[in-house]
Structures are given as C-alpha cells and as structure tokens.
C-alpha cells in the first residue's frame, strides 16, 4: 500500500512540475482555458494541495488537504454539463490511538485511516429539456432556498415565462447529505418554489421544504416556508425583505436596504434581523450547530454601514452593530448582546502605487462585561511587489469567536497574520501564510502552504 505521505509528495511534485508555457491571456492571471476533448466538450477546473501546521507550546498537528474541482461542458453550448468537487485530507503526524483530550483533535481523527476523503458534489445538468430549463441529478448544494440544502437527488427548474411576469418554478427532492453519518435511512429533503417579477424592479420568491432527519436521538420532521421580496427603485436603491416560518410559527425576518451612488462614490447599507422564537433541536439540515450551541433564543440586530470615497486613493468606512436579546437573562455562549462601533480608513496606491493599507478602530459595549467598554484597533497592509507577487500583513481583534476544535466560545482574541500569494505560472498559483492567535486559554500558531493548478 502506498504511504499517504508518499501520495502527498507525488501530488506536490505533479503540481509544481514544469509545463510548456501557455499563450498570454487578455486578462492578467486569467484562469487556464478549458481544454477541448475529442468529444468536443471542454473540461476545466483546478487541483490544489494545502499543508497546514497548527501548534501551541505543548502540542502540534500537521495536515494536508487536497481538493479537486472539475467542470465539463458549457451550459449555453451543450445539452449536458457536469460538475465534480471532492476533497481528501491526510493527517501527517497524527496518532490514531490517542486517548484523552488533544487540542487539535477533529472528526477525521475518529477514523482508522490517516487518509480521509469526502465527495461534496457530483452531478449532471440537462439543459433545455422541453418545459424545463435545467434538470440536475446527483450530489449537489441548493443555495437559493431559505436554508442551503446538501442532497443526493434531483432538482428541476422550468423555463421562464416572460409574458407572464417572468414566472418560473422548481422542485427538488432526495436524500440529505450528512458527510459523517453512516446511514441516511429514513431521511428526506423535498421542496418546491415559485419565482416571478410582477412589475419592473420587483423579484418575489416563495419556498416550501419538508425535512426529515432520523438519527440516534429520534426523528425530526420540520416544515419550512420562506418568502423573499426584492425591489429596485431606480439605479441607486435596492430594498430586500425575507420572512421565514418553521412548523407553522414565525422563525425569522430580514429587512435590508442598500443605497449606491457611483458618481459620488457613496454606499449606505441598513439591515434589521429578528429571530422570533427559541430555536431548539431541529433536523440537522436546518440547524447543524444545535449540539454545540444548544437552544438559540430570540434576538433583534441592527447593522448599518456607510462607505465614502474621497478621490482615487482614500475610502472611509464606518458602521454599527447592535444586538439585543428579547430576554437578556437568557444570554449564553454563542448568543450574546453587544454593541459594536467601528471606523475604517483605507488608503489605496499611495504614496507608492503598489501599497495599500487600512486601519480599523472599534468600540465594544457589552452589557455585563467586567472590563466595561473595550476600545481596540486592527490594521492590514498589502504590497503588490510585482504583477505576480502580493504580500499582506495585519492584525484583527474578535470579542467572541467559536473554536471548532475545542467546541467552545473564546473571548478577547487578538490575531496577527501575514501571507503571500504568487502566480508561479499562468496556470499555477502558490500561497504562504502564518497566523498567531493570542487567546485567554493559550497561544495558537498556524502555518499554511498551498499550490493550486488550473486546467
């Protein structure tokens, strides 16, 4: 059997192997052109390998991630197209028999092999099939629904009736994809939607989904409705609203407005989010974080952002985030009240063309915080050393962050980072990054090295 480290080494050598130079593209560092196969169907995609080292003073972990993404055909030209997305991980130094707590344990460490692979997408699209605009079959993500769904099944979308309010509809159904569940027996995702533009600038969409999840805790059956409205008023203002209903009760509401005035280089955004009812255990496809975050109590949140450009080199951004719980006595990890105010001046290509930098000044006002108000600052600087090489470094502060390794919330985290990205060839890009997290429980170092080959 070939050792996984040998596999990794061969992959890196294959990615970095010299190849014949391709013809220059009109756009700088454009993706490699699709390769026409003998069948006449173009094939294009990418293959990447990324090494990651994580360490504290006492522990370390080394992993390799390989990702393959392939697209076959072009929807406008070919009746059938396809897509494939697969990922493999290798634990380069892990001890699969470790007992007790280890800070860098992950779900992939629960398997017997150090090599672990997962298929995220593999589907075929049939285009312009009678009344159907697209018929998709296979493993796929559905993103336009009120909650993104990952399923093995079929999605059918009708052609748009331009003389009838640009009306079109769709249906989908299949087995939900739970990548780390041994059996999908008893599970189901099925839904439908209608979408139309009854008048100029308006887009309306109504969704319904039934989700069934059978697991060791029992069976969960949930019905989800969603209504989304988007209205564009002239060239500068867009209004958006979205309402969700779960099992016959209001779930959430989102209202958003975006004003953009290109001649004056001004943009303003204002949004309001409301969670109406406490979210308890649901089908995992509707709430995959329940086992970690537990019940999520109702809250309201306002977010405002304004950005104004002053000439070609200077942009000033500022904003506020205000989050309040319906009952502040129910505050807990992952669900807290806070007020955040920030201001970010950004300078582009001045005083030297290849340099850009920004500084973010923040004020956190958190009810019940022992330290009172928190004032902090972060920065980022990027240097375009050459058309093929960019360097960046910066610092950021996060009052609350979720540690997926320890399955807990960390507070007052200061992050320092530096990274470099380089176009080694037209079809080969490299990246190098290092990150340091100064947290209350420990200091964490992360090193990442990657190569991406386009074809």
49-97 tens-digit pLDDT:
999 998 988 888 899 999 999 999 999 999 999 999 999 999 888 665 5
Q: What is the mean pLDDT of the chain?
A: 84
Phi and psi (nearest 5°) for 11? -65, -45
Q: What is the 8-class DSSP label of residue 33?
A: P
Whether residue 399 lies inside any domain: the answer is: no
What pLDDT does 135 receive? 97
CB 208 within 8 A of CB 223: yes
CB 247 within 8 A of CB 278: no
What pLDDT does 239 receive? 98
Q: For residue range 300-350, what is the model confidence (pLDDT) as tens digits? A: 999 999 999 999 899 999 999 999 998 877 776 667 788 999 999 999 987
What pLDDT does 371 receive? 57
Whether residue 205 lies inside any domain: the answer is: yes
Predicted confidence band of residue 214 (pLDDT cuts 50, 70, 90): confident
* Residue 450, CA distances (Å) to 12, 15, 436 in order: 9, 10, 18
CB 238 within 8 A of CB 229: no
CB 284 within 8 A of CB 255: no
Residue 120 in tokens: 């995220």
In the chain, what percentage of residues exceed pLDDT 90? 60
Phi and psi (nearest 5°) for 416? -115, 135
Radius of gyration of the chain (CA): 25
Residue 212 in tokens: 């069934």
Please say if the pLDDT value at position 103 is more than 50.
Answer: yes
Cα-to-chain-centroid distance, residue 175: 22
**Torsion region of 297: left, alpha or beta (phi above 0 gives left; psi -120 to 50 gives alpha):** beta
Residue pointed to by tokens 């719980």: 325
Whether residue 49 lies inside any domain: the answer is: no
What pLDDT does 215 receive? 74
The more confidently predicted of residues 356 and 98 is 356
Please say if the pLDDT value at position 441 is more than 70.
Answer: no
Residue 366, Cβ density class (10 Å: 0-12 exposed, 13-18 middle, ≥19 buried): buried
What pLDDT does 404 receive? 53
In the chain, what percentage of residues exceed pLDDT 70? 81
Please say if the pLDDT value at position 365 is more than 60.
Answer: yes
Predicted confidence band of residue 401 (pLDDT cuts 50, 70, 90): low
**C-beta atoms surrounding 437 within 10 Å:** 20
CB 348 within 8 A of CB 315: yes
Whether residue 290 lies inside any domain: the answer is: no
What pLDDT does 26 receive? 36
* Residue 417, CA distances (Å) to 169, 197, 436 in order: 46, 46, 6
Please say if the pLDDT value at position 14 is more than 80.
Answer: no
Helix (H) or strand (E) holding 227: strand 218-233
What pLDDT does 131 receive? 94
Give which of 213, 173, 176, 164 is closest to 193, Cα–Cα.
Answer: 173
The more confidently predicted of residues 139 and 6 is 139
Prediction pTM value: 0.80
Residue 240 lies in domain: 130-256
CB 398 within 8 A of CB 415: yes
Residue 41 in tokens: 């169907």
Whether residue 232 lies inside any domain: the answer is: yes
Whether residue 246 lies inside any domain: the answer is: yes
Instruction: Count Cβ neighbours within 10 Å for each residue of 161-195 and write b for 16 or more, e otherwise.
Output: eeeeeebbebebbbebbbeeeeebeebbbebebeb
Alpha-carbon distance 213 to 209, whole Å?
13
Instruction: Count Cβ neighbours within 10 Å for each residue of 276-297 and write b for 16 or more, e otherwise.
Output: beebeebbbbbbeebeebeebb
Whether residue 208 lies inside any domain: the answer is: yes
What pLDDT does 13 receive? 37
Whether residue 375 lies inside any domain: the answer is: no
How many domains are there within the chain?
1
Alpha-carbon distance 253 to 244, whole Å?
6
Alpha-carbon distance 278 to 294, whole Å?
10
Q: For residue range 268-294, what is the model confidence (pLDDT) as tens digits? A: 999 999 999 988 888 888 877 676 667
């Amino acid at each position: 059997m070939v050792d996984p480290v040998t596999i990794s080494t061969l992959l890196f050598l294959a990615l970095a192997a010299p190849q014949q130079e391709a013809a220059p593209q009109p756009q700088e560092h454009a993706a490699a052109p699709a390769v026409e196969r003998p069948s006449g169907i173009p094939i294009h995609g990418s293959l990447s390998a990324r090494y990651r080292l994580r360490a504290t003073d006492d522990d370390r972990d080394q992993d390799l991630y390989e990702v393959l993404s392939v697209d076959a055909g072009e929807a406008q030209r070919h009746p059938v197209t396809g897509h494939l997305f697969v990922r493999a991980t290798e634990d380069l130094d892990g001890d699969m028999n470790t007992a007790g707590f280890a800070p860098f344990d992950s779900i992939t460490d629960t398997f017997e092999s150090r090599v672990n692979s997962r298929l995220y997408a593999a589907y075929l699209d049939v285009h312009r099939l009678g009344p159907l605009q697209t018929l998709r079959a296979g493993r796929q993500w559905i993103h336009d629904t009120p909650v993104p769904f990952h399923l093995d099944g079929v999605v059918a979308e009708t052609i748009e009736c331009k003389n009838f309010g640009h009306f079109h509809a769709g249906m989908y159904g299949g087995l939900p994809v739970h990548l780390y569940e041994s059996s999908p027996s008893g599970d189901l995702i099925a839904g439908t939607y209608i979408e139309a533009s009854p008048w100029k600038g308006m887009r309306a969409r109504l969704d319904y989904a039934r989700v069934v999840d059978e697991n060791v805790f029992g069976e969960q059956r949930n019905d989800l409705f969603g209504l989304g409205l988007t209205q564009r008023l002239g060239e500068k203002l867009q209004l958006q609203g979205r309402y969700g209903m779960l099992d016959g009760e209001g779930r959430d509401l989102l209202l958003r407005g975006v004003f953009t005035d290109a001649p004056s280089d001004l943009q303003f955004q204002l949004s309001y989010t409301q969670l109406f009812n406490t979210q308890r255990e649901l089908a995992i496809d509707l709430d995959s974080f329940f086992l970690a975050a537990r019940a999520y109590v109702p809250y309201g949140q306002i977010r405002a952002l304004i950005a104004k450009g002053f000439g070609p080199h200077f942009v000033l951004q500022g904003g506020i985030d205000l989050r309040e719980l319906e009952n502040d006595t129910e505050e807990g990890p992952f669900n807290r009240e806070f007020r955040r105010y920030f201001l970010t001046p950004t300078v582009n290509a001045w005083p030297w063309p290849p340099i850009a930098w920004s500084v973010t000044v923040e004020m956190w006002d958190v009810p019940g915080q022992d330290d009172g108000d928190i004032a902090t600052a972060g920065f980022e600087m990027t240097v375009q050393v050459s058309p093929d090489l960019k360097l960046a470094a910066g610092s950021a502060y996060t009052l609350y962050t979720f540690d997926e390794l320890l399955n807990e919330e960390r507070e007052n985290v200061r992050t320092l980072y530096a990274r470099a990205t380089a176009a080694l060839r037209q079809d080969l890009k490299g990246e190098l990054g290092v990150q340091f997290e100064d947290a209350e429980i420990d200091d964490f170092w992360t090193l990442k090295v990657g190569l991406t080959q386009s074809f």
